[in-house]
Structure 1
Amino acid sequence: MSIFTRLNELLQMLAARGRSTIDAIIDAVRTAWSGDPETRRRVAFSVAIIALSAKMAKADGVVTMDEVDAFRDILDIPAEETRNVFRLYDIAKQDTAGYEIYAQRLKDFCSNGDGDCPLLTDVLDALFHIAKADGLIHERELVFLQDIATIFGLSEQAFARMQHRHLEGPNDPYAVLGINPDSTPREARRRYLTLVRENHPDQLQARGVPEEFLFIATERMKAINTAYEQIAGKTAA
């Protein structure tokens, strides 16, 4: 079933309960699909992208058309669903709760106490894509992203690798793969294959990324493939 159908169901639940806050959203997702963890992960991921995108726009102070277009890159929204998606966006933007509170509750909800939730990395990856949409990541956006990464439990090395991939790209292929420039061709190949397995679209879907959001996986794989091709080209020269 389409993620948009689920988001519409979520909005109906919020209306029936007469509450439209981040707390209400998290509670609704937790209880409505308590017996269906796969759907619950898909809805939680979708809400996280929408809500934290809204919080990031509020932190930056300005919502540009480039950011809106980047948001639409990540989620290809049918015209008839635009209103409902942006209703959730506005709920999060207008809620007085800070993004730190929401990020922490999302982490607690996602990890179920085991401290490991790869889905959170996918959320942060999408936020990076939106933040860089106007050609650079502003200081307040970078602080926002760093705070989210810390709350999610992402290591400094992993955050730096993601930042390099989004900002430096082909200029630093070793950083994209997370290896040292003096790594051997065999080490580079091994790391590349690991990243391919971890970031294949099928793997993302298995951990709860809805198919409507697979733009994230496609862009990530492009960066990984480009980085490895550059490194392999250097060693072959």
Structure 2
Amino acid sequence: MGWIGKLVGGTLGFAIGGPLGAILGAAFGHGFDKRDDAYLAGRGGRPGYGYRRIEASDDTRHMTFFVAAFSMLAKLTKADGRVSEVEIRTIEEIMERDLRLNADSRKIAIQIFRTAVQSPESFESFATQFADAFRHQRQILELMADILMRVAVSDGKLSSEEERMIRSAVQIFRLPASFYEQLRSRYMKTGKGAYDVLDIDPSATDEEVKKQYRRLVREYHPDAIASKGLPEEFTELAEEKFMAIHEAYETIKKSRGMS
């Protein structure tokens, strides 16, 4: 992650601005909190917390994903009043196993998390900025929603406030309501199992199941995710999703006797 080194060295030459920029500014003292009231004028936002819509470098996208992920997780884990030990362990597992962050990156993630926990900014403000940055990349939005649900249920329950936040994120990301139900069903171990993973009804024909499987494989193949401009570390999340899709399809094939 090239931007990490620039951040540590204080030589980062661009800003993401907005609520996420405010988190970086508070966490590291750099001038990230770029204000652009004109941007927000047509979006119904608060004066003083606009941000420039940057289409530019991979560094910008990488930083936005990273900061948004740990900022949203901070607000989510605090939803029921306290951050539990099991939630912290799950986030650490995501950092180490899924994102494969090195020691420096983990320290920065923790610093962002701690800053966001105390920030007056809302979960929705972070989700909105993230959605704007990845508005044309549904797979990334779905992966983020998946991370949120995974952490929320890590303590064996889903509180009403956690559920409200994740539903809000799904809506802000412009994902269908059925996607939330599929996530909840999969992680809470309810519903239709393998069919939930493929987001298809058990009444679907064999051909419909095959068609849906092929579509998901194309969308979530790690190479397809990598081509979106995210660094190698984030493709680990896509690989996990890809494997879950394949395993679900094999389960359905076996149960139906499909060739």
- TM-score tier after normalising by the smaller chain length: 0.7 to 0.9
Q: How many percent identity over aligned positions?
A: 28
Q: What residue ranges of structure 2 are gaps of 5+ in the alignment?
A: 13-23, 35-46
Q: Which residue of 1 aligns with 2:143?
A: 122
Cα distance in 2, alignment partners of residues 212 and 83 from structure 1: 16
Q: Which residue of 2 aligns with 1:72?
A: 92
Q: Which residue of 1 aligns with 2:38?
A: none
Cα distance in 2, alignment partners of residues 3 and 235 from structure 1: 48
Equivalent residue for 2:82, pick from 54, 62, 65:
62
1:72 to partner: Cα distance: 2.2
1:178 aligns with 2:199: yes
1:223 aligns with 2:237: no
The answer to whether the 8 A contact 2:58-2:229 is kept is yes
Q: Which residue of 1 aligns with 2:177?
A: 156
Q: Which has the higher helix share?
A: 1
Count of residues in Structure 1 that have an aligned counterpart in Structure 2: 227
1:14 to partner: Cα distance: 5.0
The answer to whether the 8 A contact 1:131-1:141 is kept is yes
Cα distance in 2, alignment partners of residues 35 and 65 from structure 1: 37
1:106 to partner: Cα distance: 2.6
1:138/1:216 CA distance change after superposition, 3 Å: farther
Equivalent residue for 1:138, pick from 145, 155, 159:
159
The answer to whether the 8 A contact 2:65-2:130 is kept is no
Q: What letter is aligned with 1:177? A: L
Q: What letter is aligned with 2:112? A: L
Q: Which residue of 2 aligns with 1:95?
A: 119
Q: Which residue of 2 aligns with 1:110?
A: 134
Cα distance in 2, alignment partners of residues 66 and 203 from structure 1: 32
1:6/1:169 CA distance change after superposition, 3 Å: farther
Using CA pairs under 8 Å that are at least 6 residues apart, name the structure with larger relative contact order, 1 or 2: 1
1:3/1:184 CA distance change after superposition, 3 Å: farther
1:19/1:65 CA distance change after superposition, 3 Å: same
Q: What residue ranges of structure 1 are gaps of 5+ in the alignment?
A: none
> TM-score, normalization: structure 1?
0.81
1:78 to partner: Cα distance: 2.6
Cα distance in 2, alignment partners of residues 14 and 24 from structure 1: 20
Q: Which residue of 2 aligns with 1:83?
A: 107
> TM-score, normalization: structure 2?
0.75
